Structure 1
Amino acid sequence: MTMQVIMELNKKQVEISAQGPCEVFICYENTNTEGSSPEWIRQYELPQLNEFAKITNKFKKTMFAHMCGNINLIIEEIAQCEFQGIIDVTPPPTGDLDIANAVRLMNRNGKLLAGGIECNVFSSYSDDEFKYSVKHLLEEIPQKSAFMLGSGDAVPKGTRIEKLLVAKELLKCHATSFKER
């Protein structure tokens, strides 16, 4: 009963928000099979996210779900959801996804995947290691994918701007190489 009351209140909030000028909604629910069972997520969380997506879709809005944790066990179900994609997705150790395979799966279902740079590499990798890691990730992503390069979860405090600029430059070079193929 309590879950249903909370759900109805949440749906009301989404409906009110969806009538405003915002074009994109990001739901920060922290899906993670390390802390919640996949069955619980299938039974409660994904249906709730689908209800929110139905509302935002009704108002022609875009909805993304933040999913930085372990979601490999439920990625197929996530790809079937009614929202337009997932963001802040991360490979091990913070998450557990093979990013390139997840991009393929999400794209087959018309969905975007954003993230991919494991958040700890910003602060713990040398500049060369960071560059190699991002370059390797980009090389694994299929051409013409609905993929946005970004941090899996967050960019840690103390990250030097130079690392973000390296990622930006690698992405520009990678996009250019796609055009030339």
Structure 2
Amino acid sequence: MTLQTRLKNIFSRQNIFLIAVAIFGFAILPYIYKKSPVKIEVTQDKSLPHHIWITLPYLQKPYVEFPVYFDNPYFKKGKDYLVKILVCDEGHYLKVDENKNYYCDGEFLGKAVDTDSKGNSIENFKWDGPIPEGKAFVMGTHRKSYDSRYFGFIDKSKIIKYLYPLK
């Protein structure tokens, strides 16, 4: 087969059409991904055992992502995002006892520690009563996770995604 015949076969109308469709598909893929409410994301947060997620922004499930919108010594307000587990929702009864144990409707959630991962003293959030409307209590699974045990309730209106772990 000559070079001219090979080039004719490669650049046949059918192949050119398939190449054009492929280029067009790859060109609009980022746009479609950006507009899609379902995404695959990777996080590096060490306070949870999962790092690969599928995001579904409007379905309520336990893992939530929200921007850091409060002052704190660990994350940049307005720039960083946290992924935590929604462990106690509005209307449920949250109790913190004198030993810094947290309970939601009587079920043990975890305990606050006295120092952060760098050995600095850290105050815990105290509450005994129903969680107010529009608020939620969130936690990580790591013993020293910076979560609602220290910064208190989050505004549910600040939740931007509901996540499902893939791995």
**Given the two structures, how large is their TM-score scaled by the length of structure 2?**
0.24
Structure with the bigger RCO (C-alpha within 8 Å, sep 6+) is 2
Compare the two structures and name the one with the higher strand fraction: 2
Q: Answer 1 or 2: which has greater helix percent.
A: 1
Q: Which is greater in Rg? A: 2
TM-score, with length taken from structure 1: 0.23
